[in-house]
Chain A
Amino acid sequence: MNSLNTVRRGAAAPTQVQPGPVFHLDHLTVNFPARKGVVPSPLQNLNLKIEAGRITTILGRSGCGKSTLLRALGGFIRPEDTGGVVYRQRFLTGPTPDIVMIFQENNLFPWLTVEGNVKFGLRFRQNDKRDQAQAVRDILASVDLKGAARQYPHELSGGMKQRTAIARALITRPAVLLLDEPFSALDISLKRHMHTLIRNLQEQTGTSMVMVTHDVEEAITVGDRVLVLGGDPAQILIDEDTISPGMRDRYSEEYLELQKKVENVIY
């Protein structure tokens, strides 16, 4: 692994969507360090390619390794040296500003306003202050939070919090956005609103997105590709292209057919 080039912190973010896979899991094995030796995760020798410029959703029961997989994609955990995550033809050795992650909760700093939180995304990058203010205004408008700029996180609804987190992530123009069950705490109507929003943002920015969820509807209606992870060691049980517009309609035949197929495997 040492002989390969590695992605370093501060690498220039690609502005154009490059064709081909953004991630290539090459014999990915993750074990967690324990007091004595290691505790194996379900991820053992996993191979997978994830295409750029699309939304890939990963479904699975709790404990199936989907969150671990997402953390490996972000470079937040170190896989075994026998393989790893190849990001843009290079082995990933740690977090990079190219790949930004959004969590289910605790995304926002409670002492900063919505505006302050979003600006935090640009704080450690070199850029013009005036451009910054404009960029913050633009991104807040795109997530429909213009009126809430001066509010603090505890004054926001769950949906507004997650929209702020998404805005902060996207203002850095990352190549990849990783979402770890970001809408699990929201009620169903807010959830569907967020699904439309995230699809629109993906189309506008071309960001590659990988979202982990346990919600079958969410996975199919948001994703361009749905993966179902299961078993120990984990395998890809279902791998479906869901790019067709019919998949956005919860009453269409192709949607219902896939939903049934997925639920049979998961439940």
Chain B
Amino acid sequence: MIVKAIGWERSGPWVLGTLSFTLLVVLWEAAGRTGLAFTTVAPPPSQFLSMVVDSGFRVGLGSQASSLDEAILSTFGRVFAGMALAFAGALLTGTLIGLSRYATWCISPFLYVLAPIAPIAWIPLAIVVFGISNVTAVFIVFMGVYFILTIGTLAEIRRVPEEYLTVSGNLGASKWQRWVYVILPAILPGVFTLLRTNFIAAWMAVLVAEMVGMRDGLGAIIMMGRNLFNNELIMFGMLVIGISGFLVDRVLAFIGQRILWWRV
């Protein structure tokens, strides 16, 4: 009925996507129940979900225990803060480089030398400087996204059609006005798409940071499960990470399609 109402073209991906995902869960569950898989290593959904429900959605031991929504919120907060800062930073750096060639000469070496350093490699340094805190996690996310985004921003700026610049200059825009009213809107959708594709990198960076440093967040759930030999906790953590990541990607896709929709 729903399929008929909104058409197969639009409903198809959802219907088939849900079906194939359900099939995976069913197979996994069946493998667990029939003894085909080691339930101690890969406990089926019914097992680890009931465990989490039984514990009242609280993860951890004693005073270190935190509720699941706190874990999700702190991970989201870190990843969004880091990505927002990286987005703003990339645009700012792009502006500096776009407006002044002296800035280009000064900044470029840093960009290309620091970009290849994996965000994980910054963790020890960050912990020493910022301690075990949210700042460390945000910093790691920032380092994981900022450089790639800045290099992408520069590429987007080079792609702005010559005509736009001529037209705006011709209509009397100053260098600064041209930046604000022409180049910035021209590159925003492209840079945002890059941000979306780099969300996975940011997501991984924050999880790693939480695994090795933080005491809370989704990454910490996995580590806690490992330390407690609790595979149900590990499975549950992985599931939550996957679903949260999926939801965030949908939100970013929505922003890309509805708010920054134009293509240059």
Contacts and interface: CB of A to CB of B under 8 A. Distances in A.
Contacts of A100: 170-171
Contacts of A120: 168, 171, 181
A154 B174 CA distance: 27
A123 B181 contact: yes
Nearest to A71: B166
A109 B171 contact: no
A10 B171 CA distance: 10
Nearest to A153: B262
Interface string A47-75: 00000000000000000000000000010
Given A76-B166, A103-B163, A105-B163, A110 B263 contact: yes
A154 B262 contact: yes
A124 B177 contact: yes
A267 interface: no
Contacts of B161: 106
B169 A95 contact: yes
Contacts, number: 56
Interface residues of A, number: 25
Contacts of A74: 170
B13 interface: no
B164 A95 contact: no
B262 A97 contact: no
Contacts of B166: 76, 95, 101, 103
A74 B177 CA distance: 21
Contacts of A251: none
Interface in B116-167: 161-164, 166-167
A9 B185 contact: no
A109 B173 CA distance: 14
Most chain B CB within a 10 A radius of its CB, from A106, A152, A154, A172:
A106
Interface in A198-232: none
Q: Is the interface of B mostly helix, strand, loop or mixed?
A: helix
A129 interface: no
A97 B167 CA distance: 10
Contacts of B264: 110
A86 B168 CA distance: 23
Interface string A93-111: 0010101110101110111
Contacts of A154: 262-263
Contacts of A111: 185-186, 262
B171 A97 contact: yes
Nearest to A108: B167
A124 B171 contact: yes
A9 B163 contact: no
Given A109-B185, A110-B262, A152-B262, A10 B163 contact: no
Given A123-B181, A124-B177, A152-B262, A107 B163 contact: yes
Interface in B11-55: none
B171 A172 contact: yes
A35 interface: no
Most chain A CB within a 10 A radius of its CB, from B161, B166, B169, B171:
B171
Contacts of B263: 110, 154
A9 B164 contact: no
A121 interface: yes
A152 B186 CA distance: 15
A97 B172 contact: yes
A101 B166 CA distance: 8
A120 B168 CA distance: 8
B162 to A, nearest CB: 8
Interface string A1-27: 000000001100000000000000000
A124 B182 contact: no
Interface of B: 161-164, 166-174, 177, 181-182, 185-186, 262-264
Which 6 residue pairs across A and B have the least CB separation, nearest first?
A124-B172, A106-B163, A110-B262, A106-B161, A111-B262, A111-B185
